[in-house]
Amino acid sequence: MTRKEQLLVEEHLELVKKIVKGTMSINENVQGLGYEDLYQTGCEALCKAALNYNEARGASFATFADVVIRNSLLSHCRKVARAQAPLCYLDAPAAESGSVTFGDMLRDETEHGISDKETFCMLAQMEKQFTGIAKKGVEALRLKYMGHTGTEIAGYYGVKPNHVAAWISRALNKMRVEHMAA
């Protein structure tokens, strides 16, 4: 930044505070929506405004910076909102009828006849036996069982999500064939 741009930023820091306190919903309980986070985002936007300000266009710097700061803060809030996973309380009804809660739907060792530990041991054995795509499928199954989505697993491997689905399908088919043979 040039000295002139630095002076513009220093002179208009109060504008950031005014916008954050006056127009934003500060929520210290949500990461990214606390006052300090919003203020920092606003200051970054103020610097961006100073770098892009052109006096020849006729608007005052305060007017130009106000728009840039507000837009940046709104974009930041949208990004934070997309990143926040919705909460699902275990005692909340899972369906409109309200008779079954999310807690009721959790896996139960006796219901499936196999524990989480046994499942992970079985997948580890299969992972040692299989090679190639089937082995990747077993790895992906293990990650899915741990709660990861297909998209997250695909990101981990650097492939498209449909590749992960194909790997899992190949592994499951191979497991079925081996189970039938046993």
The pLDDT value recorded for residue 181 is: 73
Q: Would 99 be classed as within a structural domain?
A: no
What range does the domain containing 37 cover? 3-83
Q: Would 181 be classed as within a structural domain?
A: no
Domain count, the chain: 2
List residues bridging with 30 in a β-sheet: none
Q: Would 96 be classed as within a structural domain?
A: no
56 and 19: one domain? yes
120 and 167: one domain? yes
Q: Would 50 be classed as within a structural domain?
A: yes
7 and 78: one domain? yes
24 and 63: one domain? yes
pLDDT digits 0-9 by tens, 101-117: 656 655 554 455 666 67
The pLDDT value recorded for residue 152 is: 85
Q: Would 51 be classed as within a structural domain?
A: yes
7 and 66: one domain? yes
pLDDT digits 0-9 by tens, 135-175: 888 888 888 877 888 888 888 888 888 988 888 888 888 88
**Mean pLDDT value of segment 38-42:** 94
The overall average pLDDT reported for the chain is 82
pLDDT digits 0-9 by tens, 71-111: 999 999 888 877 765 556 666 666 565 666 656 655 554 45
8 and 76: one domain? yes
